[in-house]
Structure 1
Amino acid sequence: MDSPPDPADEFRNWLELPRDVTASILLRLGAVEILTSAQRVCSPWRKLCKDPSMWRAVDMRNPDNKWEDYELELEWMCRDAVDRSCGQLIDINLENFGTDELLRHIADSSSQLKRLGLVRCFSISDKGLSGVAAKLPLLEELAISYCSLSKEALEAVGRCCPLLKSLNFNIRWHMRNGDYDGEAVAIAENMSELRRLQLFGNKVTNEGLQAILDGCPHLESLDLRRCLNLTLAGDLGRRCAQQIKHLRLPHDSTDDYEFNDYCSVVDVSGGSVVSDDDYDYEEYGHVDIEYFEAYDHPDNQ
C-alpha cells in the first residue's frame, strides 16, 4: 500500500523559486499590481521589485477604466517606476492619465526609450511632447490614441527621432472645418523611415494619403480604417495595393481594433451625418479607495 503523500510536497513555497522565475511571474502582473500589491508580500519580493531590470518596460494601461479617479496616485506610481528603472526604461504605456510634467520626467530619466504609448492622455499637449522629443533620440515606436495632439507634435517627433519606424495616430473622426491633411503632411515630410502607420479614424483625404506614399517609401503596413474622407479607387487604390504589403481599408472590419470599447466613428455622405457608432457610453465600475491606500508612496519608502 502506498504511503500518503507528504503534505510538504503538496504546497509549493514560492520563496524557494529561482530568482529569474519569480521575476518572470511578477512581470506578468503589470506596474500597478507590483507597486500596490506584489512588493508588499515579503522582503525578498520587495527587494526584487526594486531591481532596475524589472522596470525596463512599464505598462500602465487601464483598459477597464477602474483607476480613472486616481490620476494623481497613478502619476506618483509612474514616476516611482521610472525612477526604479535607473535609466534602463525602453518601453512605457500610459492610459487615462499623464501630464506634460510627467512626460518631461520620463524623457529626462529615460534616454534609451524606444517605445512610447499614450492613450487618452488629454493633459499631455503638443507643446509638452514637442519639448521632450529631442531627449528621445532612440525612439522607434510611438502610439497615440485619442489624445489632444496634432501635427505640431508629429513634426517635432519626426525631426528629433530619426529611428522612428512605427506610428499610431488614432483619433475620433468628426466633421469640422480645418486642414484635413495637416497631420498626413507632417508625417510625410518628417517620418521618411516609417515601416508601419495606423491612422484609425483620421480626416486624411486622397491628397494627404498621396503625400504619405511619396514621403514614406519604406512603408509596409498601413491601417486606414474609418478614414472616411478617402476614395481609394483608380490609380491611388492600385498604388496602395502595390506599395503596401499589409493594407487595411477604410471600411474594413474593426473587430480586432484594440480600442473598440470606446471608439467613435461618424460616417458622412454628401456632407450629412449618416451614422454615429459611439461605444463610449459604457458605465465602468470603481475600485475601493483602500486599493490605492495600499500603495507605498515613494516619499515613504
Structure 2
Amino acid sequence: MKVDGAELNLKEIWNEIVEDLSNNLLRTCKFDESKVENLHKPTEMELENATMWLQLPNEIWRHILVRVSTIDKLRSAKKVCTLWRRLLKEPFSWRVIDLRDSKCIPLKIMKTFFHVAVDRSRGECTEFSYAFCGSNDLAYLVERCKGLKRLWLRGWAGGWGIPIYSCLIKVAPRLYHLEELILQDCFTTPACIEALGVHCPRLTSFSLSHFDVMEFETEEEKNEDALPSAAHLPLLCRFQLIVNSLTVWGLEAVLVGCPNLKSLNLRRCLGLDLSGPIGDRCRRMADFRHSFDSMSDFMFLV
C-alpha cells in the first residue's frame, strides 16, 4: 500500500501498533479512580509515539480494525483511544460479525452483543456467524442486512434449533446474495432446502452438521438432507454433511445432481459403504473427507 507516494509495510505497522495499543489497553483496564495520583504519566517519547499513530490515515486503521475480533470490539476495543471509539461506530467495522463464543459469555450478554453489532453494521454486514441463533434473531438479521454472502448459524433453543428451518423458508427470498451457508445443530427440512435453491442462486457452499444421533426407519428419511440438496442445489461446489444418516443412494443423487462438486465432507456418516466405484468417484475430488476421517480440525464452538 502507498500513502503519499511512500510504500508502507502493513504487517510491520500492525505489529508495532498492536504492541503499543495493547499496553495502552492494559493500563486502561487496570484504571482505578481511587488512585488517580498513582496513574502512569506518559513520557515525552510516549506522547510523541501516540501522536504518530493518530496521524496515520484512516485507511490503515481500517486494515487494523478488521483484524480485531467482534467480541473484543464489543467488550474492550473502544477503550483503546478516542479514534478507535469513533471508528467502531462506523459500518465498515462490522462488515464481518463473528459471535461464535469460546469464552462462555452469558446468553443475555450475547443477545445484547448480537443486536448492537447488527445495528452498527447499518446493513453493510456480508459475513455473519452466531452460535445462539433463534428464529427471531435470524429474521432481525436478514431484515437489516440484505447483502449477506456468508452465514454461519448454530441453534440454541427448542430442540437444538428447530425454529430456525421454518424461519429460513420465510427469509430465503431476502438472501439473494448468499454464497455460503453453514448450519450447525440446526435441523432442516426438504422444504427449507428447496426454498434455498429457489431464492439463493449464488449458493455454492452448504454445510449441515449436528451431533444429536437420530434413528430413521426408511431410506427416504435417512436421505432427507441429501436428496433435496441434490435436486435443488445444482451449483454446489462444496458440500458438508457431518454426522448424517445418508446412504449410498443419497450420495449417488448428490454426485449426479451437483456436477460441480470439488469438495465433499462426509465425516461421521457411518451408514455409507464407500468400498465400490462410488467411493472411487469421491476420492478423485480435490478435497474429500471420508466417514472415519479425524474430526480434530472441525470447528465446533458453543
TM tier relative to shorter chain: 0.7 to 0.9
Structure 2 residue aligned with 1:91? 127
Give the SS at the match of 1:116.
strand
Structure 2 residue aligned with 1:283? none
Instruction: Letter of the 1:249 partner, please give it.
Output: H
Q: 1:203 aligns with which of 220, 242, 245?
A: 245
2:249 and 2:69 mapped to 1: Cα distance? 42
Instruction: Letter of the 1:101 partner, please give it.
Output: N
1:20 and 1:177 mapped to 2: Cα distance? 54
Instruction: Letter of the 1:61 partner, please give it.
Output: R
Q: TM-score, normalised by structure 2?
A: 0.76
Instruction: Letter of the 2:291 partner, please give it.
Output: P
Does structure 1 conserve the Cα–Cα contact (< 8 Å) formed by 2:151 and 2:182? Answer: yes
- Consecutive unaligned residues of structure 2, counting only runs of 5 or more, are 1-42
Q: CA RMSD in A?
A: 2.2
1:80 and 1:175 mapped to 2: Cα distance? 37
Structure 2 residue aligned with 1:102? 137
1:107-256 to structure 2, matched below 5 A, reads: 107-121=142-156, 122-123=160-161, 124-172=163-211, 174-178=213-217, 179-242=221-284, 244-256=285-297
Structure 1 residue 158, shift from structure 2 partner: 2.0
Give the SS at the match of 1:213.
helix
- Consecutive unaligned residues of structure 1, counting only runs of 5 or more, are 1-6, 263-301
Structure 1 residue aligned with 2:113? 77
Instruction: Letter of the 1:59 partner, please give it.
Output: D
Worse overlay, 195-204 or 34-43: 34-43
Structure 1 residue 18, shift from structure 2 partner: 3.7
Worse overlay, 156-165 or 211-220: 156-165
1:3-82 to structure 2, matched below 5 A, reads: 8-9=44-45, 12-13=49-50, 15-64=54-103, 66-67=104-105, 69=106, 71-82=107-118
2:125 and 2:250 mapped to 1: Cα distance? 35
Does structure 1 conserve the Cα–Cα contact (< 8 Å) formed by 2:126 and 2:145? Answer: yes
Does structure 1 conserve the Cα–Cα contact (< 8 Å) formed by 2:95 and 2:125? Answer: yes
1:222 and 1:21 mapped to 2: Cα distance? 38
**Which structure's residues are more often helix, by fraction?**
2
Task: Assess, with a 3 A threshold, how the Cα gap between structure 1 residues 30 and 134 changes in structure 2: closer, same or farther.
Answer: same
Instruction: Letter of the 1:154 partner, please give it.
Output: I
Does structure 2 conserve the Cα–Cα contact (< 8 Å) formed by 1:26 and 1:38? Answer: no
1:256 and 1:35 mapped to 2: Cα distance? 27
Percent identity reads: 34
Paired residue total: 251
1:55 and 1:173 mapped to 2: Cα distance? 33
Structure 1 residue 82, shift from structure 2 partner: 1.7
1:202 and 1:47 mapped to 2: Cα distance? 46
